[in-house]
A and B are shown apart, each in its own frame.
Chain A
Amino acid sequence: MAIKHLKTAEFDEIMDAAPLAMVDFWASWCGPCKMLSPTVEALAEQYEGKALVGKVNVDEEPDLARRFGVMSIPTVVFLKNGREFDRKVGVMPVEAFTQVLDKNL
């Protein structure tokens, strides 16, 4: 499954229905986001059917970025049925994300 690009209008509906989700807040002008991007895309494939892996462009969806208090990108937020339970800020190795996902599958 290709990675899901999330828009403000549909965000809540999609998240409420997802038992486990990981959302990467990013922007095109952010070097560290470019670094993290391949990792997030690989995770979307690896966890297909088990967890929803999505991306939010903070330029296009400033309301979502504000709502989640995203103040540095990349920020990766983990949610269960729409409720945040963990987040990682900055570029990190893939294990930092798989650990959270595996523990909460």
Chain B
Amino acid sequence: MSYEVLVIGGGPAGLSAALNVRARGRSVLVVSNPLEENPLWRAEKVDNYLGMPGMSGAQLLTEMRRHAEKAGVEFRTGKVLSAMRMGENWYVSIGSDMESARALVLAAGVARGKKFPGEAELLGRGVSYCATCDGMLYRGKSVAVLGYSDTARGEADFLRSIGCSVTYFDRPRACVINGENQVESLTCDGETIRVDGVFLLRPTMAPTDLFPGLETENGYVTVNRKMATNLPGLFAAGDCTGGPLQVSKAAGEGLVAGQSAAAWAAEQSRKSK
């Protein structure tokens, strides 16, 4: 189905954006990892969120999520792997599904870590970011899973269940993916194995991988006062726009981005009538 606004990321920025889209009476879907995967979940105490001192990150996230659910925000667990604007709508793929929306809010946090040598060169030639999307093409073959998120083990199990021979690497630090025209082997932290495929499962994608042509500065998404990016109908909020990487800043930016996205969606609907 089609939404007026789709939010990528379910942390304070994304939830605040979604809540404020609902406050304008518009439909909104939040696509995110499980709440427990948010880096804030592991914060023992957040003492600078105004008026609510001493709460843990997990408590804050749980309350924020509940608030958004009560307001009628819809949720989907999963990763957005590609996004494209066609006509007046944005289309995003989430695992094996596709959704569309008039406006998007990118609030997916920061992508930590650089790409490995060979990763970009062999993407689509043995390197994949999505086990559920490409797993079937590796039935009966050897693959490596480089797991950087809590859900990665589940994806490795999925690959085993469809008949892949899986070697699992738990958060390896330094890897090189080798091969001429397709992946032939992988070296991680000194260990080399022969593989046909490498599944890199990170918690979040770099914004420019998701949105080709997106303007960034030092890896952070460039936005204006309305939290609009240089791409039409795409707004951004929270850590992905830069520091300070704090809850108040994320929630505030989320509010602005949500309102801007709702206004954009309203304008688009008016135009198409």
Q: How far is the CA of A32 from the CA of B84 in the complex (A)?
A: 10
Q: How far is the CB of A40 from chain B (nearest CB, A)?
A: 12
List the B side residues contacting A31 at CB < 8 Å: 81-82, 93-98, 133
Which residue of chain B has the shortest Cβ distance to A30 in the bound complex?
B133
Binds B, one of A9-17, A43-51, A78-86, A88-96: A88-96
Q: How far is the CB of B223 from chain A (nearest CB, A)?
A: 22
A34 and B137 form a contact (CB under 8 A): no
Q: Does A35 contact B (CB under 8 A)?
A: yes
B98 and A73 form a contact (CB under 8 A): no
Q: From A29, A38, A70, A90, give the contact of B82 (CB < 8 A).
A: A90
Q: Does B182 contact A (CB under 8 A)?
A: yes
Determine the interface band of chain B, counting residues with CB < 8 A from chain A.
20 to 34
Interface of chain A: mostly helix, strand, loop or mixed: loop
B132 and A32 form a contact (CB under 8 A): no
List the A side residues contacting B197 at CB < 8 Å: 71
Which residue of chain B has the shortest Cβ distance to A59 in the bound complex?
B136
Q: Does A58 contact B (CB under 8 A)?
A: yes
Q: How far is the CA of A35 from the CA of B81 in the complex (A)?
A: 11
Q: From B94, B98, B124, B137, give the contact of A65 (CB < 8 A).
A: B137
List the B side residues contacting A38 at CB < 8 Å: 86
List the A side residues contacting B216 at CB < 8 Å: none
User: A75-B124, A90-B124 are contacts. A29–B86 as well, Cβ < 8 Å?
Assistant: no
B-contacting residues, A26-77, CB 8 Å? 27, 29-32, 34-35, 38-39, 58-59, 65, 69-73, 75
Q: From A29, A39, A69, A92, give the contact of B96 (CB < 8 A).
A: A29
B86 and A91 form a contact (CB under 8 A): no
User: A27-B136, A58-B137, A65-B137 are contacts. A89–B95 as well, Cβ < 8 Å?
Assistant: no
Produce 1/0 per residue, B54-92, CB < 8 A to A.
Answer: 000000000000000000000000000110101000011
List the A side residues contacting B84 at CB < 8 Å: 35, 91-93
Which residue of chain A has the shortest Cβ distance to B135 in the bound complex?
A29
Q: How far is the CB of B250 from chain A (nearest CB, A)?
A: 27
Q: Does B184 contact A (CB under 8 A)?
A: no
* Chain A to chain B: the 6 pairs with minimum beta-carbon distance, closest first: A89-B124, A31-B93, A72-B124, A34-B98, A91-B82, A32-B93
26 example contacts (A-B, Cβ-Cβ < 8 A) are as follows: A29-B132, A30-B96, A30-B133, A31-B82, A31-B94, A31-B98, A32-B133, A34-B98, A35-B84, A35-B93, A35-B98, A38-B86, A69-B125, A71-B125, A71-B182, A71-B197, A72-B125, A72-B134, A73-B137, A75-B124, A89-B123, A89-B124, A89-B125, A91-B82, A91-B93, A94-B86
Q: B residues touching A (Cβ–Cβ < 8 Å)?
A: 81-82, 84, 86, 91-98, 123-126, 128, 132-134, 136-138, 181-182, 196-197
